[in-house]
């Protein structure tokens, strides 16, 4: 178990470098197994979940190298459609490997994937997609055996699931014919996956909208690709800057990926500007005169991201008034609120999907624990606001989504120490 020891209320100032999107890299790396030569993926965050995904590829025979935020994947020696059971069970994002394996082998053998405990996340949507594509599915003792190359056709998603949309794409890029994917999720990370596949020689159009068309091709070739900036990491540091009333430069970002977030923060009284440097966008925060509470409801993109719900709640502890937060995506994403209460946060859970939070509140240091990736990052934010020295337990959970967050915070003036 690792801990963060954080002395709060320090003056923060400087620049924060935003790396590539975790939720894009976790899908693009397994997509590389579809090539007939090596792919080089750059701007990859060096985090635990990425390391797990790379080990999963190693378990089926891929040759990989991860150095300096660049991953090289050589799929030419892959000889198995059965990834390591224990690794699969530790990584929720491993589910997208199934679509790639079906395209490559017409077979996939896997287990219920793991991940953060943020509510029920069934794989039924994925199984439904594979069945629509003509894949046969057998389930025995918690193991799933899928057989048959996916057949091009029409797919209708039960709901706008990001990973199910990505599996639909990965399953059909090598299918003979045209596949139409309806009610697809539209997150930027899906468009980034499609851009990578198209560099490999695929024909995917409409990614980033709710209607995607995949025209199957016979082969794919390895490609070089740079992951888009992580909008969740950027949003987390942006809320940190506003909550501590710090002047920070955060980037690179793609501001369009954060439109709804920026609107809510502007409505709350935050001060910031988007600047351009060397062809990239950055966000520069300025001191504000105080915050006013604003309600949010999380939605699939382009709505307010569920992954920024917890940092936003911590921000609202410093705003005047009562905020209502409606979590439409996951019913188990409020565990961090009990830890926030230990710091003095004033929140009330109204039902499994909604809570209120009142402010402004003086937070005071104590010992708390991370419950999930984004909730853990939110508690780091709360500790930076709080009076005194806070101990946060289980911070390796935060490491799953943020590369060296403690190092980045020290660089802008935070007093944070990692204790192993």
d(CA 174, CA 104): 8
Which of 21, 88, 108, 116 does the annotation list as catalytic? Answer: 116
d(CA 153, CA 215): 10
DSSP state of 275: E
Encoding tokens for residue 13? 């100032």
CB burial readout 19-52, b (16+ within 10 A) else e: bbbbbbbbbbbbbbbbbeebbebebbbebbbbeb
DSSP state of 279: T
3-state secondary structure of 403: coil
Instruction: Please choose, from the candidates 184, 172, 246, 243, the residue with its C-alpha nearest in 3D space to the C-alpha of residue 214.
Output: 172
Q: What are the residues whose beta carbons fall under 8 Å from the beta carbon of 119, sequence distance 6 or more?
A: 329, 330, 331, 332, 333
Strand partners, 326: 297, 354
Encoding tokens for residue 253? 């970002």
Q: Where are the beta strands (DSSP E) in 216-345?
A: 224-226, 247-253, 271-277, 280-286, 291-292, 296-297, 319-326
d(CA 226, CA 336): 33
Q: What are the residues whose beta carbons fall under 8 Å from the beta carbon of 14, sequence distance 6 or more?
A: 248, 249, 411, 412, 413
Contact 370, 335 (CB under 8 A): no
Is residue 116 part of the annotated active site? The answer reads: yes
* Phi–psi pair at 61, nearest 5 degrees: 110, 0
Classify burial at 114, counting beta carbons within 10 Å of its beta carbon; exposed 0-12, middle 13-18, buried 19 or more. middle
Contact 414, 14 (CB under 8 A): no
Contact 250, 237 (CB under 8 A): yes
State the pairing for strand pair 136-140/143-147. Answer: antiparallel
Task: Indicate which residues carry an active-site annotation.
Answer: 116
């Amino acid at each position: 178990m690792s801990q963060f020891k954080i002395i709060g209320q320090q003056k923060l100032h400087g620049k924060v470098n935003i790396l590539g999107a975790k939720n894009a890299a976790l899908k693009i790396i397994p997509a590389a197994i579809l090539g007939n030569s090596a792919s080089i993926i750059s701007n990859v965050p060096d985090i635990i979940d990425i390391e797990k995904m790379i080990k999963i590829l190693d378990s089926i025979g891929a040759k990989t190298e991860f150095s300096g935020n660049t991953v090289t994947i050589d799929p030419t020696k892959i000889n198995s459609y059965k990834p390591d059971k224990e690794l699969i069970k530790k990584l929720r994002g491993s589910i997208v490997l199934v679509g790639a394996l079906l395209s490559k082998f017409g077979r996939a053998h896997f287990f219920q994937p793991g991940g953060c405990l943020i509510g029920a996340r069934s794989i039924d949507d994925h199984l439904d997609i594979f069945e629509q594509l003509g894949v046969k599915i057998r389930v025995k003792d918690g193991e799933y055996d899928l057989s048959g190359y996916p057949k091009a056709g029409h797919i209708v998603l039960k709901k706008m699931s990001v990973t199910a949309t990505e599996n639909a794409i990965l399953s059909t890029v090598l299918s003979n014919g045209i596949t139409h994917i309806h009610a697809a999720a539209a997150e930027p990370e899906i468009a980034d996956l499609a851009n990578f596949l198209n560099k490999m020689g695929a024909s995917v159009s409409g990614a980033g909208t709710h209607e995607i068309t995949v025209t199957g091709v016979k082969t794919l070739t390895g490609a070089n690709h740079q992951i888009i900036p992580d909008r969740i990491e950027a949003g987390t540091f942006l809320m940190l800057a506003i909550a501590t009333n710090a002047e920070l430069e955060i980037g690179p970002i793609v501001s369009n990926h954060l439109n709804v977030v920026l609107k809510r923060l502007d409505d709350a009284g935050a001060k910031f500007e988007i600047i351009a440097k060397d062809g990239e966008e950055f966000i520069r925060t300025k001191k504000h005169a105080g915050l006013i509470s604003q309600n949010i409801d999380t939605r699939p993109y382009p709505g307010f991201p569920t992954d920024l719900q917890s940092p936003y709640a911590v921000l609202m502890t410093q705003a005047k008034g009562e905020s209502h937060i409606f979590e439409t995506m996951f019913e188990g994403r409020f565990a961090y609120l009990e830890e926030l209460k230990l710091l003095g946060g004033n929140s009330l859970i109204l039902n499994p999907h909604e809570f209120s939070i009142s402010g402004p509140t003086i937070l005071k240091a104590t010992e708390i624990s991370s419950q999930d990736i984004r909730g853990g990052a939110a508690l780091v934010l709360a500790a930076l606001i709080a009076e005194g020295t806070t101990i946060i337990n289980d911070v390796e959970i935060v490491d799953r989504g943020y590369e060296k967050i403690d190092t980045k915070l020290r660089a802008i003036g935070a007093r944070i120490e990692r204790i192993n």
